[in-house]
């Protein structure tokens, strides 16, 4: 696999970086839950995404982290308009695409591409790699100079696959190679924005790094903006200049890499960072926070601040008043936090660990009493 492939064959579309490519305001997606007897009616909603604001600048990578059910994947699908938002607004390059029809979306579809988690399920097993990658060009009627086949071979080379494997089928490739095919397909239309939904989490560790490096190369050398959705905090940090932390359908904290990882303010961000396993036996300098229980259901999310049911700083105010996503005093510009009682901006170990889990607390207390 050639990691050293150059990208000079690609005419790089470099939008002026810094300008807002994608802007999302108040984005909502409710999935109705139908029930009732004989005649189905709406008995409730899964509030997958419930009022999310963010933007992505051209050429920039925004990382999105959070645990299952936080709505990060749904957000990705709303942005690419694979799903229709329930509320809020999505605008791409200044154009409102929230409720655009298929026809209106057609020119934009080629500029926003998606990479999926499962490289096994997202490639048609009956198509050759060549036709998979050429598919988007055919659909959009794009005829690159030199023909589609030449372009496909170029793309295969860019993603580190042998261009001669043009006529092979997906099952002849390993998981990592299939994900490269997915990347090549996404690149086929010279996109300006790629939404990557857990692009490496189905892959083995040694293969993950290959794909992360490939995506990073694509991002930097082709100037493509990314919405990089993943649950692995270290990979998101490695890949993204800015990071949004989601919890139960809301962004609880967003900011540049250094602020989020070095000086987080939201208790949930602290808990996430503290839980992230590090391959280092000597990282005892990190704070230890162990939450209790799992994430609540997005069907009936807690009132006020959604994290309050698992938060050690929660007070009455948190139940009644939803904290706005704002810049707190002392935070860098663009570092926004939605919390009434924010934490200190440090991840250093505390005098006393925060252990909310009842089983852990009981055992550790007993151990402390009888050393």
Partner 1 sequence: MTILTKPEAEPVPQGSEHFLSVRDLYVQFATEDGTVKAVDGLSFDLDRGKTLGIVGESGSGKSVTNMAILGLHNPRNTTIAGEIVLDGQELTGASPKTLEKLRGKKMSMVFQDSLTALSPYYTVGRQIAEPYMKHMGASKKEARDRAVEMLRRVGIPQPQTRVDDYPHQFSGGMRQRAMIAMALVCDPDLVIADEPTTALDVTVQAQILDLLKDLQQESGTSIILITHDLGVIAHTADDVVVMYAGRAVERGTVRDILKTPEHPYAWGLLGSIPRLSSSVDVPLAPIPGSPPSLLNPPPGCPFHTRCAFVDQVEGDRCRTERPVLPEGRGSACHLTADQKRDIFIEQIQPRLR
Smallest separation (angstroms) from partner 1 to the CB of 54? 20
Distance CA 113, CA 183 (A): 9
| Closest distance of CB 217 from partner 1, Å | 8
| Residue in 261, 267, 269, 308 binding partner 1, rule: CB under 8 A | 261
Select from 89, 165, 237, 313 the one that contacts partner 1 (CB under 8 A).
237
Q: What part of residues 285-344 is at the interface with partner 1 (CB under 8 A)? A: 290-295
Token pair listed for 72: 């990060």
Q: Which of 271, 305, 336, 339 binds partner 1 (CB under 8 A)?
A: 271
Distance CA 291, CA 49 (A): 23
Select the residue interacting with partner 1 from 216, 256, 340, 341 (CB under 8 A): 216
Complex with partner 1: residue 28 or 208, whichever CB lies closer: 208
Task: Output the six-digit token pair for 90.
Answer: 């999505």
As a whole number of angstroms, the distance between CA 59 and CA 14 comes to 8
Q: Give buried/exposed letters for 251-272 (b at 16+ CB in 10 A, else e).
A: bbbbbbbebbbebbbbbbbbbb
Q: How many residues bind partner 1 (CB under 8 A)?
A: 54
Helix (H) or strand (E) holding 195: strand 193-197
Residue from 83, 209, 319, 354 in contact with partner 1 (CB under 8 A): 209
DSSP conformation letters of 252-290? EEEEEHHHHHHS--SHHHHHHHHHS--S-TT-TTB--EE
Q: Is 1 in the site for partner 1 (CB under 8 A)?
A: yes
Burial of 21 (0-12, 13-18, 19+ CB in 10 A): buried
DSSP 348: B
> Would you give the binding string for partner 1 spanning residues 126-145, x where CB under 8 A is met?
--------------------
Using rule CB under 8 A, residue 364 touches partner 1: yes
Interface pick for partner 1 out of 168, 238, 313, 340 (rule CB under 8 A): 238
Q: Name the residues that contact partner 1, by CB under 8 A.
A: 1, 3, 67-68, 174-177, 204-210, 212-213, 216, 231, 233-235, 237-238, 257, 261, 271-283, 290-295, 357-360, 362-364, 366-367
């Amino acid at each position: 696999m050639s990691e050293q492939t150059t990208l000079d064959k690609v005419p790089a579309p470099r939008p002026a970086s810094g300008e807002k490519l994608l802007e999302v305001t108040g984005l909502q997606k409710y999935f109705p839950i139908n029930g009732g007897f004989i005649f189905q009616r709406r008995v409730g909603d899964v509030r997958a995404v419930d009022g999310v604001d963010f933007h992505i600048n051209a050429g920039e990578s925004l990382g999105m982290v959070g645990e299952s059910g936080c709505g990060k994947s749904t957000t990705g699908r709303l942005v690419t308009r694979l799903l229709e938002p329930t509320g809020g607004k999505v605008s791409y390059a200044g154009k409102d695409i929230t409720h655009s029809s298929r026809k209106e979306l057609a020119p934009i579809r080629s500029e926003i591409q998606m990479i999926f988690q499962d490289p096994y399920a997202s490639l048609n097993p009956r198509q050759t790699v060549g036709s998979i990658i050429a598919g988007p060009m055919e659909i959009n009627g794009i005829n690159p100079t030199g023909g589609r086949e030449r372009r496909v071979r170029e793309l295969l080379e860019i993603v580190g696959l042998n261009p001669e494997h043009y006529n092979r089928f997906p099952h002849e490739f390993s998981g990592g190679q299939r994900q490269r095919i997915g990347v090549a397909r996404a690149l086929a239309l010279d996109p300006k924005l790629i939404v990557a939904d857990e692009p490496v989490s189905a892959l083995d560790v040694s293969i993950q790094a290959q794909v992360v490096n490939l995506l990073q190369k694509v991002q930097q050398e082709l100037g493509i903006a990314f919405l990089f959705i993943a649950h692995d905090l270290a990979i998101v940090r490695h890949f993204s200049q800015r990071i949004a932390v989601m919890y139960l359908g809301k962004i609880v904290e967003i900011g540049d890499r250094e602020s989020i990882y070095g000086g987080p303010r939201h208790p949930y961000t602290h808990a996430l960072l503290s839980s992230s396993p590090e391959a280092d036996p000597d990282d005892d300098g990190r704070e230890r926070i162990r939450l209790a229980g799992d994430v609540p259901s997005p069907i009936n999310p807690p009132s006020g601040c959604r994290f309050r049911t698992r938060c050690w700083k929660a007070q009455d105010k948190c139940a009644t008043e939803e904290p706005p996503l704002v810049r707190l005093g002392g935070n860098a510009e663009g570092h926004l936090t939605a919390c009434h009682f924010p934490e200190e901006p440090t991840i250093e170990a505390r005098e006393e660990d925060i252990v909310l889990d009842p089983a852990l607390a009981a055992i550790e207390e007993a151990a402390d009493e009888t050393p």
